[in-house]
Amino acid sequence: MITGLDHVQLAAPLGAEEALRAFYTGVLGMTEIPKPPLLAARGGCWFQAGTAQLHLGVETTGFRPARKAHPGLRVTGIDAYAARLETHGTPVTWDHSRPGHRRFHCADPVGNRLEFLEPDGPARP
């Protein structure tokens, strides 16, 4: 039986860690969490906010950002969150196609698609 989602992994090109750290901690407000030593040797970085974890792993050959596949991150104060991203130079694209939610997409510094959403009314599972 599945009991929850532990993390979502996205790929990044070799050497992108500093740009990722600046974006995920400085812009998104996530906290970097340490990788286990054996995994840290491979590069990349891990981030967490609440129970959501995003792992960015180094793709050593043929990196291509995820443009369709993406994590969906729940936020509060979605308008302020979108404004924060845009203030930091990250364009957002609003999408009104999911009933009961306000949401937008953006790309991280290496081009991976991210979705941010907030329920219109009381929180839904």
Q: Residue 123: its pLDDT value, please?
A: 53
Q: Does residue 2 have a pLDDT over 70?
A: yes
* pLDDT score recorded for residue 100: 94
Total length of the chain: 125
Which of 59-68, 101-110, 115-124 has the lowest average pLDDT? Answer: 115-124
Burial 40-59 (b: 16+ CB within 10 A, else e): eeebbbbbebeeebbbbbbb
pLDDT of residue 87: 97
Is 124 a residue whose pLDDT tops 60? no
Mean pLDDT of the region 6-33 = 97
What are the residue boundaries of the structural domains of the chain, listed by start? 8-119
Q: In what order do the strands lie in the sheet with 31-33?
A: 8-13, 52-59, 45-49, 31-33
Residue 33: per-residue pLDDT: 97
Q: What would the DSSP string read from start to end of 10-66?
A: EEEETT-HHHHHIIIIIIT--EEEPPPHHHHTT--EEEEETTEEEEEEEE-SS----
Strands, sheet with 72-74, edge to edge from the N-terminal-most edge strand: 72-74, 113-119, 101-107, 93-95
Q: What is the pLDDT of residues 26-64, one digit of tens each?
A: 999 999 999 999 999 999 999 999 999 999 999 989 999
Superfamily the domain 8-119 falls into: 2,3-Dihydroxybiphenyl 1,2-Dioxygenase, domain 1 (3.10.180.10)
